[in-house]
Amino acid sequence: MKQFVAVYGAEPDGVWAAPGRVNLIGEHTDYNDGFVLPFALPHRTVVGATRLDTPQWTVWSEQADEQITFDLSTRVPGWGAYVAGVVWVLREAGFDVPGANLAITSDVPLGAGLSSSAALESAVLTALVDLGGLDLPVDQRPRLAQQAENEYAGMPCGIMDQSASIRCRAGHALFLDCRTLEVEHIPFDVASAGLAVLVIDTRAPHRHVTGEYAARRASCEEAARALGVPALRDTTLSAVADLPDEVLRRRARHIVTENQRVLDTVDLLRSGQVREIGPLMTASHGSMRDDFEITVPEVDTAVEAALSAGAYGARMTGGGFGGCVLALVDATATDQVAAAVAEAFAARGYAPPEPFVAVPSAGATRL
């Protein structure tokens, strides 16, 4: 790894990588014990690492253009929290984490809702587990990476992004039950159906993401309490309809209907009906816009323009308040749909969007 050699003057002991993700469907369902269906992107965070004999970590990041050093007594802020949080969580779990020199680079777009932070945590976790020969089965790693983000970095996320980054397989979407953590790898071969998934980074400035995200999570927990269930996974539309609070009713309705849309999407994909998932994607967007209220004008514009240009379905992906839209389109129509979205953005005076075609890729690995 050339960056590692440039910083530390020698080749690393090993190089590891973990991807960003898009979520095909199932938004904000993860922390409600529900279902999600993400797939990994080819974009990934790469970590070169060499083991040290002392409990000290030096980390250089190409994107931050910064090097930090910390030990077990340091509380690390900023981007380094996603690295130090992983060391912290592994030690909390009782592992003897080796000290290390690390060099990190990434082509996961930052702040675009494509899980750049989960890619960083997952790459560092995979590297430290391998370097230290730690006995940590793959299916238990996402929970620890999530805990690092929740308790060290302070973002109350669910378990989807770390699961996608660690457990996805190339050519497949990851059907994850966020309560049991059981997974099924669902073949998602859009190309042989003559289709493509177009990702449109709206580049809309994120607005109050962490606060709004935490507020949605709190509303869901409040609705579950009012309904007398452990999580919104356990309720029904008719029970939700009786909630007296109008806002809680809409928040809970999104979760209940979104879980069903994930199950319906999985059923269609299991029987090879790829194009047919389009209307479920579009319905998911409507539910995020009207019931969960996590979209912004740029993402609504992108969805409407993609649908008008012939997309079979389109929706915002990720936590919301900006970020990316996914559109399911004919493989021959990607340029045309991307151009239609760019035109709609120009007409409204928005910054030009950045489109790319997403291919379901592999999860975290040693290179």
Residue closer to ligand GAF by CB (options 31, 345) is 31
Min CB(115)–ligand GAF separation in Å: 6
Instruction: Pick the closer one to ligand GAF by CB: 295 or 334.
Output: 295
Listed in sequence order, the residues at least 6 apart from 159 whose beta carbon sits closer than 8 Å to its beta carbon are 30, 31, 142, 143, 146, 176, 178, 181
Kindly indicate which of the ranges 25-33, 65-73, 245-253, 304-312 contains the residues binding ligand GAF, using the contact rule CB under 6 A. Answer: 25-33
Question: How many of the chain's residues bind ligand GAF (CB under 6 A)?
Answer: 11
Are 98 and 131 in contact, with CB atoms under 8 Å apart? yes
- Check if the beta carbon of residue 299 is closer than 8 Å to that of residue 325: yes
- Is there a catalytic annotation at residue 161? yes
Least Å from the CB of residue 244 to ligand GAF: 26
Residue of 12, 27, 203, 243 that binds ligand GAF (CB under 6 A): 27
* Strand extents, DSSP E, the chain: 14-23, 35-36, 38-52, 56-61, 66-71, 99-106, 172-177, 183-187, 195-201, 313-317, 324-330, 354-358, 365-366
Rounded Cα gap, residues 351 and 86, in angstroms: 35
Gap between the Cα atoms of 88 and 68, Å rounded: 16
- 315 near ligand GAF, rule: CB under 6 A: no
C-beta closer to ligand GAF: residue 161 or 291? 161
C-alpha torsion sign, points 235, 241, 242, 246: positive
Give the Cα separation of 27 and 37 in Å (integer). 9
The nearer residue to ligand GAF, 149 or 298, going by C-beta atoms, is 149
> Could you tell me the smallest distance in angstroms from the CB atom of residue 63 to ligand GAF?
19
For 252-290, b where at least 16 C-beta lie within 10 A, e where not — what string? bbbbbbbbebbebbbebbeeeebebbbebbbbbbebbbe
- Letters for 282-311 (x = contact with ligand GAF by CB under 6 A, - = none) are ------------------------------
For residues 298 and 323, the answer to whether their CB atoms sit within 8 Å is: no
Using CB under 6 A as the binding rule, whether residue 169 contacts ligand GAF is answered as no
Q: Is 319 in the site for ligand GAF (CB under 6 A)?
A: yes
Task: Kindly name the residue from 161, 177, 189, 267 that is annotated as catalytic.
Answer: 161
Q: Is 109 in the site for ligand GAF (CB under 6 A)?
A: no
Nearer to ligand GAF, 112 or 131 (CB): 112
At closest approach, how far in Å is the CB of 151 from ligand GAF?
14
Compute the least distance from the CB of residue 50 to ligand GAF, in Å.
30
Tell whether residue 201 is a contact of ligand GAF (CB under 6 A).
no
How many Cβ atoms are within 10 Å of 193's Cβ, its own excluded?
A: 15
Q: Can residue 41 be called a binding residue for ligand GAF (CB under 6 A)?
A: no
Neighbour count for residue 110 (Cβ, 10 Å): 13
Q: Which is nearer to ligand GAF, 29 or 301 (by Cβ)? A: 29
User: Of 1, 4, 28, 173, which lies in the binding site for ligand GAF, with binding defined by CB under 6 A?
Assistant: 28
> Which residues have a catalytic role annotated?
161
Which chain residues interact with ligand GAF by CB under 6 A? 23, 27-28, 30-31, 157-158, 160-161, 318-319
